[in-house]
Amino acid sequence: MSVNSLKSNPMAGAALSARSEGRRMSLFYLGAMASSFVIAYLPTYVTLAKGPWQSEQEGHGPLIMLAAAWLAWQQRGKFSSVSLKPAPVAGWIILLGSLLLMAVARSQNILMIEVATQIPVLLGCLLLIGGWPLARIFAFPLAFLVFSIPPPGWLMDTFTVPLKAWISDLVTNVLYALGYPIAQNGVMIMIGPYELMVKDACSGMNSIFALSAIGIFYVHEFVDRSWIRRVLLIASIIPITILANFFRVLALVLASYYMGVDRVEGLFHDLTGIALFVFALALFFLLDGVIIAIGYLAGKALRSGGAMKPA
């Protein structure tokens, strides 16, 4: 709309001015709520930094939050085009209910619930500012924060214990078939004069959570709309992580046999954990490359077959 047309139509100019003012006020409220959110959850982040974020299991937590913030920032272009329709009733109910739950969880030292409440708190803020249309824009960044929630110990044990036993059994069978003097009792592996215990970190659960977050982030941001490619990549995360963890345990057992248990503990053990994650990522991206290549060849074959058909 040109300046002359605005002058000739003062009602349109007033509407545009009111809309711009509304946008500025919405941005102001958004900034104020963001600041209030950081202040409210600062004690939570301090607790996470002193505890779970220092562990191998939850060390990826800060990266998850930074990735969610980046995903939200990527949606800023849509903010100017969405029609803001605040939903104060739903917004206040969700916001106040979530803040109350957060306060109770903090007082009872239930960190998982305390961290989880940041998702509905942010949802309530979005509803107050722009309603459900605005909430839909930021739906994926909000959902992505699920990976920042520390899982409860009982849930980890449910999957960690059988996974450790299965990997221990698999490594033992492979090395026994190769002629190594090896035996197993649950998660205890005896090879030569040495005895090793497969720890929780060697179960692969830590890597499954972290690789799942990276995989979903990658699929959402960098994979095209091919649902087959998306499904295959997401479905491959757990098998790839388990495979990489099998090689980690295998390497640790062989290193213990040839170099001794004392040399395997500490730095070498930590380095194998890093190598596991790099290896799993490499397999994930290699699989994506194979899927792309197969899709390209299949499309080329279909085009060639179509060109050979008689008119």
152 contact partners, CB below 8 Å, separation of at least 6: 112
Helices then strands, each counted (H, E), the chain: 13, 3
The catalytic site residues sit at 202, 248
101 contact partners, CB below 8 Å, separation of at least 6: 113, 117
Q: Mind giving me the DSSP string for 234-295?
A: HHHHHHHHHHHHHHHHHHHHHHHHHH-HHHHTTHHHHHHHHHHHHHHHHHHHHHHHHHHHHH
3-state secondary structure of 194: strand
Q: Which two tokens stand for residue 222?
A: 């960098």
3-state secondary structure of 170: helix
State the chain's maximal CA–CA distance in angstroms: 93
Strand partners, 197: 188
| Residue with token string 């272009």 | 77
Phi, psi torsion values for 189, nearest 5 degrees: -115, 125
